[in-house]
Chains A and B, each alone.
Chain A
């Protein structure tokens, strides 16, 4: 009898607190208040269906118990009892979802995240700013070029400020006279924002620099003289293997890293937009029924893992990683001094000799400077996400059994995918 009373009190308390904490919460609070309002709004749509589903779960358990009792099927009776407890757990989750989410943010994650003027740091904001600049948030609709960065991106009321002030935002095309090279860009960022330059801007700037440096070289490399006898002397050809192709290779790698950067950005947007508004309610709904419990619990674990753990891990790695934009970079110092070559050689032998002579370790080292910034970026864009995914999937693997999913085999498959 005591356990039944306790259960009734728990259900009532959860329902009461859920009603008391019926959102909207204050929009002027920390970043997650907006998300809590979204969850509350979404759950309002799902709540009646989920409540009915819980009632159906209780009914099915009761009918199964009656059949088990009637036919004296011990296994069915045990199953019905287990289902009854699962239905109670589902009822608690359905009634208290918004409350549990609120507690998770308010007393859980806000405690572990570094504080700013408006509350705990927004890990999504940090992650977006790291990759492409803060304008890429799923709720934002304007660009923030060249890493222009104001405070933490929100005003005292927690509102995204640049969303409403596009005129204050520079663009690359509009500001060439203001920012001429990466040094200016870094200095500008340091003066205005104290934030690292987004990887996207770094990559585009590097690509442009290489392109500018390569432009004239490519023209020269195609210069050929010919005679009617059929002899064609490509005088500028020696530039191709020495300068042009290495730069092309670096440009190609930049494109790959850029693609990965954009993929990570949209992945973040996808997680931010869908995890708590689609996956969590759907997962909770599916968790109510025995055949779909495993899938539902997995979806819930996905929702919490990808919405919370993924961006927080991302933010921590961002904070810990170095800023590659600080590395000295000057296109004028790149590569080989063309004065080392005598472009007026009149035979192949002398051209070849000069090329070999000038392909000394020092020259090769100079050429390698083209791509010296790439390893750091490569690690940031290809290796760090693997670490972040490993942490998130480990969390999901641990959380899923607690919520009712059996993903031991699926979990192994997920890890293998990484």
Chain B
């Protein structure tokens, strides 16, 4: 029970196009460079070079579609077949839509590259101006940095408490004696901290994964979008083309957009009225600890008291688990709706079964 002949053909077509698309281009100096989407607030040289070679293929494909549709339309007149006529009209109409998309592709990308989302989304922080991708990456990096700060603080506290826990006092005469571990009373605190460290490390991994997906989205966009537009030009591959375009737009546009919206609510750089209890409170750490005799109680407070590491972990879980979860739900819904409009709806039911 292998895959069908048509599906195999489609897979071969996509694979060939991906191979043709290339991940690098030769710049004006003759050096091979990776293809980026944006550079200096506009569509990069790489994507323009890539698209110029794709455009020829695309226009040829659409012309073939027009030719084929015209032939079918003529045939339908000869045999007086209404179904054929309607099909040919639809192909013609879809060809026009594909051409429309091809004409505006670079303009659309340039527009997005230069679009300053800070005033557009009503963000009022100290960040200045940034397009949607730069802003989303900065936000994710900022949150990750705060997690690292938290990790550093927690590890430091852990080292201190664990070191105190080894303090032992011994009394002996020759050959006979007794000892007592005076620091053993710290073990309850020592045992609690690894849970915090695990949670923070898990959070950092999830944040890094999001940053990676964001970078991957750029790479995917470079070949998924042109491939999608091209495949959409033919009737047989229209569904797949639409789905590829929806995936490319979803990951490269909707995903960073959702990240900016979500994470700006917990970032003081982007929003001075950010949520109380920002992750940056991690670094309150030692600066708030009293000098003198109160340091043990301060250490205790820092671990389990009010304003402790654990309290700050609450927002870490929200930022690293809940927000990405909601982002992906938004993204899935967007891609599903867009793929339905552009060609063929992506079967999300199989994806949700994976959850």
- Using a CB–CB cutoff of 8 Å, the interface residues on chain A facing chain B are 42, 45, 67, 71-73, 75-76, 136, 138, 140-141, 143, 145, 171-173, 200, 204, 207-208, 210-211, 214-216, 218-219, 221-228, 247-248, 251-252, 255-256, 258-259, 261-267, 269-270, 273-274, 278, 282, 286, 290-295, 298-299, 302, 405-407, 409-410, 412-414, 416-417
Contact = CB atoms under 8 A, between A and B. Distances in A.
Contact of A222 (B172, B184, B276, B307): B184
Nearest to B342: A291
B306 A292 contact: no
B266 A407 contact: no
- The A contact surface, by secondary structure, is helix
A295 B314 contact: no
Contact of A211 (B188, B315, B338): B188
Contacts, number: 188
A266 B315 contact: yes
Nearest to A236: B180
Nearest to B321: A263
B166 to A, nearest CB: 11
B251 to A, nearest CB: 14
B276 A413 contact: no
Contact of A269 (B195, B276, B332): B276
Interface string B100-144: 000000000000000000000010000000000000000000000
B213 to A, nearest CB: 18
A259 B195 contact: yes
| Residue among B300, B314, B329 having the largest count of chain A Cβ atoms under 10 Å | B314
What is the interface residue range for chain B against chain A?
A: 35 or more
A108 B302 CA distance: 44
Contacts of B306: 143, 145, 171-172, 200, 204
Given A42-B122, A298-B330, A409-B352, A262 B311 contact: yes
23 contacts: A42-B122, A67-B93, A71-B93, A73-B90, A138-B275, A218-B187, A222-B179, A222-B180, A224-B179, A226-B177, A248-B191, A251-B188, A261-B314, A262-B314, A295-B334, A295-B337, A298-B330, A298-B333, A405-B333, A406-B337, A409-B348, A410-B332, A416-B355
Contacts of B189: 211
Nearest to A216: B185
B1 interface: no
A15 B99 CA distance: 40
Contacts of B323: 270
Contacts of B325: 417
B90 A259 contact: no
Given A262-B313, A406-B337, 6 more contacts: A215-B185, A266-B315, A267-B318, A270-B318, A416-B352, A417-B355
Contact of A258 (B181, B300, B310): B310
Interface string B295-311: 00100110011110011
B178 interface: yes
A406 B265 CA distance: 27
Top 3 closest pairs, chain A to chain B, by CB = A262-B314, A413-B352, A294-B337
